Amino acid sequence: WAGANASPLPSSSSSSSPEKSKKKSSAQRGNAEQASRMQISDTMTVSQLQDECRHRGIKGFSGQNKTWLLDQLGVGTVWLSHPSSAIGKTSTPAKAKKSPAPTTSRKVDEKPKAKAAAIKKDTKKKVPTPKKRQPPSDSVNWSEAPRITSKLTIVQLSHELQMRDPSVTGLSSKTKPWFLSKLGDNSVWTTSPSMNATTIANAPVVTNALTKGQLIHEIMTRMPEIKGLGSKS
């Protein structure tokens, strides 16, 4: 019992209110600072801005400066690729680990026949399957192959010459007789659409290794009307 002059005791709520207001204000400041860190600003590095562009799907940001990146992202927008940001990130539930199946111990005793069969199976050698041989180039009927003639256009002749010798340049000003002399009149048109690439790869070609008799025979096959080849070098 207290007297009439006794002063009332201070309530606990009045004494704790300043502390609560301090905590509330500090929490608000912390939230504001955190929100500012989660926004696009000019304090970010170029690498961070590029990561944000990549996260948003913006293209063409490689090699751009900070001003261009800020214009594309928008200053003050949410920083989606921030490490502490949960926006746009979906958490995948952790897969439950499968408990290993209990192993039952079994007896080591095995039948001798099973052991012998296993050893015999391991010692069997695998017989390699023979590869199919490609037919030789001599089996190709070259008499039916398309030929280099004056009926071909300059574009076709130029393409043929570039395929045979890629080092040749300055073909735009050459005439059709010049191409025919370089390619050889009535020679095989290797770049024809009807030719098979495998057949061309296996085809024999005229080189310096051929004898004079072989070269004369080749010319007579292509152009039977030519004469006087015996005195040619």
Taking the alpha carbons of 191, 194, 196, 197 in that order, is the dihedral positive or negative?
A: positive
How far are the Cα atoms of 14, 174, 175 from residue 169, in angstroms, in the given order?
A: 98, 10, 14
Separation of alpha carbons 42 and 39, rounded Å: 10
121-146: per-residue pLDDT in tens? 666 666 677 776 655 544 567 777 88
Query: What is the C-alpha separation between 96 and 195, in angstroms, rounded?
Result: 61
Residues 6+ apart with CB under 8 A from 92: none
State the Cα–Cα distance between residues 153 and 182, nearest whole angstrom. 15
pLDDT per residue over 173-204, tens digit each? Answer: 999 999 998 888 888 888 888 777 656 666 77
Contact 72, 40 (CB under 8 A): no
- Per-residue pLDDT reduced to its tens digit, 26-76: 555 555 555 556 788 888 999 999 999 998 989 888 889 999 999 988 888
Angle made by CA atoms 47, 50, 52, in degrees to the nearest 5? 115
pLDDT tens sequence across 91-123: 455 565 666 666 655 555 556 667 777 776 666
Average pLDDT over all residues of the chain: 74
Residue pair 141/134 in contact (Cβ under 8 Å)? The answer is: no
Q: Is the pLDDT of residue 152 over 90?
A: yes
- CA torsion angle 213 215 221 224 (round to 10): -80
- 1, two tokens: 């019992």
Token pair belonging to 68: 């261009």
Residue 2's pLDDT is 45
